[in-house]
Amino acid sequence: MWTQEHRQSHDRKGLRYPSDLTDAEWALVGSLIPPARRGGRPRDVDIREVLNAVFYLLSTGCQWDALPRDLPPKSTVYEYFSLWRSDRTLLRLHQALYAQVREASGRKAQPTVAILDSQSAKAAQKGGRRSTRKATTRARRSPAANGTSSSTPSACC
């Protein structure tokens, strides 16, 4: 139920963009982002701003070229996004937040029951999505491949 306190905790009016992280949200996810690698040049980019840029892209659906100028450059954001996707940082972030939400609502961190319908089970037995379409779709043929095709319109009833 929405109480006044609950509304205030979810208010995003003071942020630059609605997708930006609040201080409380950054406190939750900041520790889940891996630190800079040892050796080499020290990291000079603000990781919170990179994450804000990723959330901006995801929430608005804009192109990489359309990132606002007050966010880090698109090349920097894309490099971190690719790195976090390949080293599974984004997956770990999602799983940690998912477990926290479940525990906050009084449930176990991991679900204990899964429900499969008969269609999902059949698709999994056949090999998934690819083979299901081939089994149900007939091959298309062009009229030119048909030997009985005619260039004159046929007389219909």
pLDDT in tens, 104-115: 888 888 877 877
Q: Residue 97 falls within a domain, yes or no?
A: yes
Q: How many structural domains does the chain have? A: 1
Give the residue numbers spanning the domain of 26. 4-104
Residue 77 CB coordination number (10 Å): 22
Q: Residue 32 falls within a domain, yes or no?
A: yes
Q: Residue 46 falls within a domain, yes or no?
A: yes
Low-confidence stretches of the chain (pLDDT beneath 50): 131-132, 149-150
Q: Residue 129 falls within a domain, yes or no?
A: no
Per-residue pLDDT reduced to its tens digit, 54-71: 999 999 999 999 999 999
Q: Residue 111 falls within a domain, yes or no?
A: no
Q: Residue 88 falls within a domain, yes or no?
A: yes
pTM given for the model: 0.63
Q: Select from 24, 28, 91, 82 the least CA-distant residue to 50.
A: 82
Q: Are 64 and 74 in contact (CB under 8 A)?
A: yes
Q: Token pair 């429900």 is at which residue?
A: 115
Give the side-chain half-sphere CA count within 13 A for 129.
0
Q: Residue 8 falls within a domain, yes or no?
A: yes
pLDDT at 154: 52
Q: Residue 153 falls within a domain, yes or no?
A: no
Q: Select from 67, 62, 55 the least CA-distant residue to 21.
A: 55
pLDDT at 38: 86
CA-to-CA distance for 38 and 95, rounded, in angstroms? 26
CA-to-CA distance for 31 and 42, rounded, in angstroms? 18
